[in-house]
A and B are shown apart, each in its own frame.
Chain A
């Protein structure tokens, strides 16, 4: 199985900050990488698919990049409602361990 490793596991940032989350695959997965946001007690919500495509309805402050084994999710200007846990996932397969984002 391909392993997905996220970093950091948690972070604390202020409203308006630029936040970067990294996901690494144990082997190349081209651009078959998705990002999800999960709030407590809720199902994950798709943010980004195919590494960089913004899902319909998702604010444009979210963006994704990368290919092969190294991927990045960026929140350009952190908002209070962005407090959540973020997961990467190789399409049709394993998830990363998650990054918990807290607002200072």
Chain B
């Protein structure tokens, strides 16, 4: 059974960097069939896919155009986890952030999710 455990601060000051981590159990961040995603949800923007990282003989990342200039998703193979960094945050980045897995066997659908982290951007 795959489990994803999120960690990170719930409050970030405007213009600073939002950083979250997702620890994986029951699978490997280096899996050749899975990809590791970040999604956020807010009342104003709904569910928004932010990006993903995956390993297919080499590491790759894909980002949503809306955050492409500010986002980094990074795998950590030594700890079997992956992270999200979002720079220059504004109150518009206030949302519940989720990490999630997509897998080749389910056509890249998001089959396992973390518990969610409410991140508030405020001074």
Contacts and interface: CB of A to CB of B under 8 A. Distances in A.
B109 interface: yes
B113 A43 contact: yes
Main secondary structure of the interface of A (DSSP, over half): loop
Interface residues of B, number: 22
A43 B108 contact: no
Contacts, number: 62
A87 B98 CA distance: 15
B114 A34 contact: no
> Chain B: interface secondary structure?
strand
A69 B61 CA distance: 27
Interface stretch (B8-16, B17-25, B43-51, B79-87): B43-51
25 contacts: A32-B108, A34-B109, A34-B110, A43-B113, A44-B47, A44-B98, A45-B113, A46-B106, A46-B111, A49-B106, A49-B107, A50-B109, A53-B107, A55-B109, A55-B111, A89-B47, A89-B110, A91-B109, A92-B35, A92-B108, A93-B49, A95-B46, A95-B48, A98-B46, A98-B47
